[in-house]
Amino acid sequence: MLLYIYLSLLYTAITAELPCTVMPGILTQLDAGNGEVYGVNADGNIYHWVQTDLQRDWVQVPGALIHVTVGPAGVWGVNKQNNIYKIQNNSWVQVSGLLKQIDAGGDQFIVGVNSGDAIYCVNQDGTTSGGTDLPWIKLDGALKYYSCGPLGCWGVNSANQIFYRYSVTQTVVRCDQWKQVDGKLVMIEGGNRP
């Protein structure tokens, strides 16, 4: 029932007439969370949207990534070799593991998938430790894209089928099972509350 209510609210929000503004720049991937927006272009350049009284523009961030994410767990990304990086003390620091896609939208935990569509997560203890040898937990299933928010996690498999997992917390990303949701998507994002 909770899943039905959540999906109904999500559908209502999506179908409502939300005001959109075209922003300058051309990006191949972007992510928004914790009041920040990051993106990457086709050349792997990383950009951070800066909006102040004096400036409204994309500012290039040092480094090269194919996927970037920002959320309660911080700013993370992966490069074309699937190496994983996080911003620590205003610099990119490489951490253990290999992923093709990563998401920091969960409540101080991160999730992602590797080139073989295996699903991984790091709970809050690992993301807040400041260390680079992360305690990756392999989850059941296979997804090409995986994203979490405060109400649960969403994923899409290689057949573009949609899956949802709820009751996810900072310390427990493992849940009983995946629930398949009607429809097909090539990717999906879950977000955090403002």
Q: Domains of the chain, with CATH numbers?
A: 27-184 (2.130.10.30)
> How many Å apart are CA 190 and CA 105, to the nearest integer?
7
> How many Å apart are CA 37 and CA 47, to the nearest integer?
8
Max Cα-Cα span within the chain: 49
C-alpha closest to that of 63 among 84, 32, 34: 84
Find out whether 36 and 70 touch, Cβ atoms under 8 Å. yes
DSSP annotation of 178 reads -
Q: What is the pLDDT of residue 148?
A: 86
> Who's near 81: CB < 8 A, 6+ residues apart?
98
- In tens digits, what is the pLDDT along the chain, a chain of 194 residues? 444 444 444 444 444 555 667 777 789 999 998 889 999 999 999 999 998 888 788 999 999 999 999 998 999 999 999 999 999 999 999 999 999 999 998 778 899 999 999 999 998 888 888 889 999 999 889 999 999 887 788 999 999 999 998 766 655 555 557 889 999 999 888 876 55
